[in-house]
Every structure is written in C-alpha cells, then in structure tokens.
C-alpha cells in the first residue's frame, strides 16, 4: 500500500537540533509526549523564540487534537524562522482540521513557493482544493506531483478522483488503472475503479475489479459492499447474498454488511433471515434516536403505550403502516411518529387504525406525548417483530390506506382513456 501522504505530518529535521531538542525529539518519537513537552517548555523558558521547540510543541498539540493551540505555536515558530517549510506544512494541516481551507491553501502555496518539489504538500494542496470545489487547481497540483513521482500509485488515484468529479470519466478510469498497475494490492483504487466503470456501462468489468480487490485484501468490508451492490444492479440477488456472507465471515461485527445482507435476502424472499439481519441497522449511528424510550422486544403490550416511528423514507413508512393495526390488536395504546408530509394521510386513518395519536418527528411540541411512551419501535421493524415470514402475510390488509379527496372530476366516456400515476420521491435522496 502506498504511503498515505494526505495524513502525513512533518516533525523536525533532527540533524541540526541542539542536544536538548534532540532529546525532546527522541522522546516524542518514542511516544513519550508528556516528557517531550516538558523538555520543550524548559527550553522556551530560556529561549522564548526557539523555533524548533515551538514547532515540536505545535506538532504534539496537533497530534492530540488541540488544533487551535497547534496553529498558534507553529505560527510563532514561523515568525522566528520564516523559511521552515516543515512548519508551513504542519500549519496547513492544522488549519485544514479546523475547517479553514482558504488559509490552509494559502499556507501550502507559500510552502511550495519555498520548495516546489514537496510531493506530500502538493497532495495536501490538491486535497484542500478538492474540498473547496476548485477541481481544476486540484488536478494541476496532482499532475505536478506526478511529474516528480510518476510511479506513486496514490498520486494517480487522487488525480483520478479529482478528474471524475470534474466530469472527465475516461481520464479518471485511465489513472485508476495506472494506480492499480503500479500497486497491485491497492484496494482503494480498485474500489474507485469499480465504482467508476458502471458509469460507462461496464458493469461486468466492475464486478471483476471488485472480485480482484477481494483477492488482494479479503478483510476490507467496503469491497464486499460494492461488489454486492454491483450484483444487485444486475438482478443477481442470490450472488449478492453470498458475497455479503463472505464479507461478514471476514468482518463478523460489521453491522453495515449484515444490514445490507438482510435487504438482499429479502429480495430472494428469505424473509426470516432477511428481517433479522435488517435489524442490524439499529446498531448504526444513523439510526440512533435521541430519546431514551426503551426498544420494544416483543413483550406483552396490554395497557402499555408504544411509539411506532418512521425512521427512513415516506414510501417506507407507507409500506409498513399496514402492520399498525396488528399492534393495536395487542391492546396497546399506539402513538405514530412520522414525517410532517405524511401526517395528513395517516390522520385520515387514525380512527380506522385505532391509533391514539399521530405526531411529527422530532417535534418539541409533541414531547409530552412522546415522554409517556413505555416502548418504541421503528415501523420498519414491525415485519420482524411480528414474524412476517410469508408473502401471504405481507399481502394482508393491502387496501389499508386510501386518500380521501375533497372533490371529484368528470372522467370522459372514451375507450382511449390513458391515466398516468406519478410518484414524486425525495429530491435529497440519492436514489430518487
């Protein structure tokens, strides 16, 4: 695997250090940061503008997440020695970490002006420009770095990423291929290439690329995810399940793989295993709730209040709303929490469902209702908790929702009537 230039931090050049600073440097290299810090502070008591001591203290602050302190210390070291490129480089990294991209870019450019042959800083500059959306400038930085190190696989991968974002898909694919040729086990480049190829209609080649990546690095979970996704696009759900299972075998605690394996199993009509693995999503941060209402585990609900909440899209909530009456039948008080846009439709069926209340997601005004709930459960977990393992059960209560209109239209008497049904998805969702 090539050196990760994007996270590379410079320290000092130990050859020119005084004996005491060399001791501090060695302590830092040995992981004894506190002792190194004390040594630097002692030096600064005697020489308050010692650039190397200020710089080393700044590096240690940066490496322990104290970016603001690092920025000030390294700036002071640059004031003391204005031509120290290592200090400029570390200052740029600290500024980036603080989200100060424009300032970081300015610092990187000053460093390049002092020494134009710094590959690592050219990469940092290119990455910062990418984050700023200045793709043409990022591409120029990567291209110049490649002239200095033409056999550096990571440089070709980074350039390819910028080219792809810039709309040059052919150029991106070319440089992803070069990265792989230079570093045969470069899993990140394989994955990037595999994700780019389908945009050119090369689905089969993408699948082969992901398969080769797994051969080189069978422990990398994201490759199984990407390969399974490519297989699912081709309708090969059974192969996708098998791929997820191989990934889970190598990454047994990976909830993302288990979650998506569950979705693939559902596509193969393996509802029992599919719903069970679909529950793995609740271990992911994206599905965590802010409140502390206990998750319902299927225990008796008679006389208790349960909050059934929409956790994902409006369409998902509509699909799983069919199971709401099943929970009401358990003699529970039921509160539905849903999207604001869905609330009017569900309110039309509140009485029919036997639901006690319908509230907005994360609405502070409804907190009093929410606080009285004994349990909570996502709507999309209802099929699992109710053990809906058969398509016949999925089809129950098919006519469970209907839009109650306020008026009617006159349909012309014709045999050539054409009716179009339009479903508008979420414009912010990647698949809509």
pLDDT in tens, 272-282: 999 999 999 99
CA 306/CA 310 separation, integer angstroms: 13
Positive or negative, the Cα torsion across 74, 80, 82, 83?
negative
CA 219 from centre of chain: 19
The angle, 0 to 180 degrees and rounded to 10, between the axes of the packed helices 221-233 and 237-250 is 180
Domains of the chain in sequence order: 1-115 (1.25.40.10), 293-432 (3.40.50)
Entry field: residues in the chain: 432
pLDDT at 4: 34
CA 9/CA 5 separation, integer angstroms: 9
Among 154, 157, 198, which residue's Cα sits nearest to residue 175?
157
- DSSP-derived letter for residue 284 is S
Bridge partners (DSSP) of residue 27 are: none
pLDDT at 143: 97
pLDDT at 321: 92
Scanning 234-376, the segments in alpha helix (DSSP H) are 237-250, 255-267, 271-278, 314-320, 324-328, 343-347, 350-353, 367-371
Q: Max alpha carbon distance in the chain (Å)?
A: 99
DSSP calls for 356-405: SEEEETT-GGGHHHHHT-SEEEEGGGHHHHTT--SHHHHTTTTT------
Among 216, 214, 208, 263, which residue's Cα sits nearest to residue 241?
263
* Ranges of residues in the chain whose predicted pLDDT is under 50: 1-10
CA 272/CA 351 separation, integer angstroms: 31
pLDDT at 19: 83
């Amino acid at each position: 695997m090539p050196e990760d230039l994007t996270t590379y931090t410079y320290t000092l050049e130990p050859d020119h250090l005084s004996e005491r600073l060399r001791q501090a440097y060695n302590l830092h290299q040995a992981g004894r940061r506190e002792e190194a810090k004390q040594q630097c502070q002692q030096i600064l008591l005697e020489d308050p503008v010692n650039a190397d001591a200020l710089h080393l203290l700044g590096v240690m602050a940066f490496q322990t997440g104290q970016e603001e302190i690092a920025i000030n210390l390294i700036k002071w070291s640059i004031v003391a020695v204005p031509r120290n490129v290592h200090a400029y480089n570390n200052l740029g990294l600290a500024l980036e970490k603080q989200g100060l991209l424009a300032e970081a870019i300015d610092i990187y450019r000053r460093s390049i002006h002092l020494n134009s042959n710094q590959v690592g800083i050219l990469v940092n500059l290119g990455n910062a420009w990418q984050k700023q959306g200045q793709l043409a400038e990022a591409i120029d930085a990567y291209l110049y770095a490649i002239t200095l190190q033409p056999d550096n696989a990571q440089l070709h991968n980074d350039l390819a990423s910028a080219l792809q974002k810039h709309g040059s898909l052919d150029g991106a694919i070319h440089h992803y291929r070069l990265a792989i040729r230079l570093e045969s086990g470069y899993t990140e480049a394989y994955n990037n290439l595999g994700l780019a190829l389908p945009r050119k209609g090369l689905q089969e080649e993408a699948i082969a690329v992901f398969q080769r990546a797994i051969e080189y690095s069978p422990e990398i979970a994201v490759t199984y995810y990407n390969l399974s996704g490519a297989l699912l696009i081709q309708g090969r759900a059974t192969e996708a399940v098998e791929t997820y299972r191989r990934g889970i075998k190598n990454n047994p605690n990976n909830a993302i793989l288990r979650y998506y394996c569950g979705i693939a199993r559902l596509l193969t009509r393996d509802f029992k295993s599919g719903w069970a693995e679909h529950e793995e999503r609740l271990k992911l941060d994206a599905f965590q709730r802010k409140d502390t209402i206990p998750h319902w585990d299927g225990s008796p609900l008679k006389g208790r209040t349960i909050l059934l909440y929409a956790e994902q899209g409006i369409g998902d909530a509509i699909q799983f709303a069919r199971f709401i009456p099943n929970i009401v039948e358990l003699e529970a008080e039921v509160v539905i929490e849903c999207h604001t846009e869905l609330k009017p439709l569900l309110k039309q069926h509140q009485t029919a469902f036997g639901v006690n209340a319908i509230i907005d997601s994360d609405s502070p005004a409804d907190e009093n209702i929410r606080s009285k709930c004994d349990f909570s459960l996502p709507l999309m977990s209802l099929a699992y908790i109710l053990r809906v393992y058969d398509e016949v059960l999925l089809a129950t209560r098919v006519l469970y929702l209907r839009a109650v209109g306020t008026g009617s239209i006159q349909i012309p008497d014709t045999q050539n009537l054409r009716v179009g049904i339009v479903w508008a998805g979420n414009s912010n969702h990647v698949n809509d």
